[in-house]
Amino acid sequence: MVEMTSVTALDENKSPEQLYQERAKRTQDAIELRQPDRVPIQLGMSYMLAEWGGVTKQELHENPEKAQELLEKAALYFQPDNIMGVFGGPDVGRILGDKMMKWPGYGLGPNDTFQFVEGEYMKVEDYDDFLLDPADWGLRVMWPRIATRLEGLAYLPHLGTSAFGVSYSGIIPSLNHPKMVEALKALTEAAETSAKVFQRGMESSQRLGALGFPPPIFASSAFAAAPFDAMSDTLRGMRGVMLDMHKRPEKLLAAIEKMRIIITKDTINLCKATGMKFAGSMLHRGSDGFMSLPQFERFYWPSLKQMWLDLIEAGITPFVFYEGIWDQRLQYLAELPKGKTIGMFQSSDIYKVKEVLGDTMCIIGGMPNSMLQGGTVEEIRALTQRLCKEVGKGGGYIMGTQIGEMEGSKPELVKAWVEATKEFGQY
């Protein structure tokens, strides 16, 4: 475990309240393409907290108080502008018997990294039912397929008009089936646990705020999947959706449009209910290596762009992780409203991103995770200086890693990176 007793405040004469306001303004200025006092830096600690604190990744999930203590110590030690801990967890999925995610200690070893299990959970023959009534199909078909304790939902009759008025009498008898009773019990337990998880998140933000750190952007975001990715990642799988693009393109496009409407409405409603101002999108299948530009123009971009425009109109800022390489797609992203989105880029040419999109969106990233794992202090300082000078020019830039979590990073290199950002990032 790393010794943490040498923690010192970089701004000893400022109160946590002052630091909070400065950091929040610095980040917001960058988001809105204004030039702040210096380049802000965000840290997505995630499983680095387990390595740093000498605990397993499983324990990090199972002991939220320990995870919070490690996050607070990391915040005080590194002194970034905002910081995020471990992302998600097995709490709800474990109760439901979720088949789509594996977590440390739940389907994986205690120190393995969580994994998404892609599958063809929606079959070709499901298209018509999905398009007719996605809620009915999801409840009676999808949920029983992806969660062992929800298999009883398959005993529900088609909702149809049974959901309206006195017609509900057609549904009630099915609720007494033993597997249905088990499914309803599981949903009740999951709802109670979900409320506790949400409350922990609120308390975590409050505790970090008391130390002078505003909430991290992604942790305070709703989730708005790209409509194409929602069909590909969670329903048809990559193989299924790639075949659909050639064999049944019109049905795929109709399903994507249905997804766009649902995701947009759900995201806006969630943001209204919680006060969230951001909507996170992690883009998987739209990058340069997954499809051609004509396919991108037909299947991916129109629905995604319209979803973002609708969210922006509702006062929500899309926070987008552009996974993979997007160098061939940058001109499309330049169509977005200026200063209304945030883009985190994994493997794109960050300097080209600045050239094409510097006047369009706030840019996050630039520091390779591998550099923080096996680089030298000198290499990190040199790269940080270049990023601040070229990508940070004129504002609109938040220093960050190429991937939004820092598992495997060396604390001494992270410390050098933060300090170099504060040194070279002054405007």
CATH number at residue 227: 3.20.20.210
Does residue 137 form part of some domain? no
Closest Cα partner for 413 from 376, 361, 358? 376
Ranges 28-42, 171-185, 262-276, 411-425: which has the least confidence: 171-185
pLDDT in tens, 335-388: 999 999 999 999 999 999 999 999 999 999 999 999 999 999 999 999 999 999
Tell whether the model's pLDDT for residue 2 goes beyond 50. no
Going by pLDDT thresholds of 50, 70 and 90, the confidence category of residue 162 is: confident
> Which of the residue ranges 1-5, 144-148, 198-202, 396-400 would you say has the lowest mean pLDDT?
1-5
Q: What's the mean per-residue pLDDT of the chain?
A: 93
Give the helix/strand (H/E) hosting 83: strand 82-84
Task: Give the rounded percent of residues in the chain with a pLDDT score beyond 70.
Answer: 96
Cα separation, 9 vs 3, whole angstroms: 16
Query: Rounded to the nearest 10 degrees, how much is the dihedral formed by the CA atoms of 230, 234, 235, 241?
Result: 70
| pLDDT(5) > 50 | no
Cβ(89)–Cβ(61) under 8 Å? yes
Residue 140, domain member (yes or no): no
Half-sphere exposure of 215 (CA within 13 A, CB side): 15
pLDDT of residue 6: 35
Tell me whether residue 160 is in a domain: no
Q: How many domains does the chain have?
A: 1
Mean pLDDT across 221-233: 95
Q: Cβ(37)–Cβ(176) under 8 Å?
A: no
What average pLDDT does this structure show over 199-214? Answer: 94
**Pairing relation of β-strands 115-116 and 101-104?**
antiparallel
Q: Can you name the residues that pair with 107 across neighbouring β-strands?
A: 103
Answer whether residue 9 shows pLDDT above 60. no
DSSP class of residue 147 equals B
Res. 3: pLDDT tops 50:
no
In this prediction, residue 169 has a pLDDT band, given cuts at 50, 70 and 90, of low
Q: Read off φ and ψ for residue 86, nearest 5 degrees.
A: -65, 140
Residue 261 is part of which domain span?
16-89+191-424
Minimal CA–CA distance to 304: which of 246, 232, 353? 232
159 within a domain of the structure (yes/no): no
Residue 179 lies in a domain: no
Q: Which of 5-14, 216-225, 389-398 has the largest mean confidence?
A: 389-398
Give the pLDDT score at 1: 36
Q: Decide if 103 is inside a domain.
A: no
What SS3 class is residue 399?
A: strand
Which phi and psi (to 5°) does residue 400 adopt? Answer: -165, 175
Residue 106 has pLDDT above 70, yes or no: yes
- Looking at the domain assignment, is residue 97 inside a domain? no
Determine the pLDDT at residue 79: 97
Query: Residue 221: CB partners within 8 Å, gap ≥ 6?
Result: 276, 278, 279, 280, 319
Q: Does 128 score more than 50 pLDDT?
A: yes
Q: What is the pTM of this model?
A: 0.92
Give the 3-state secondary structure of residue 155: helix
- Which tokens sit at 395? 């504002």
Report the pLDDT value the prediction gives residue 7, as an integer from 0 to 100: 34
For range 110-121, the mean pLDDT:
95
Residue 93 and residue 189 in contact, taking contact as beta carbons nearer than 8 Å: no
Which neighbouring-strand residues pair with 310?
Answer: none
Is residue 26 in some structural domain? Answer: yes
Which of 99, 70, 92 shows the shortest CA–CA distance to 2? 70
Contact between 42 and 216 under an 8 Å Cβ cutoff? The reply is yes
So what's the pLDDT on residue 172?
A: 82
Closest-CA residue to 347 (of 392, 399, 402, 384): 402
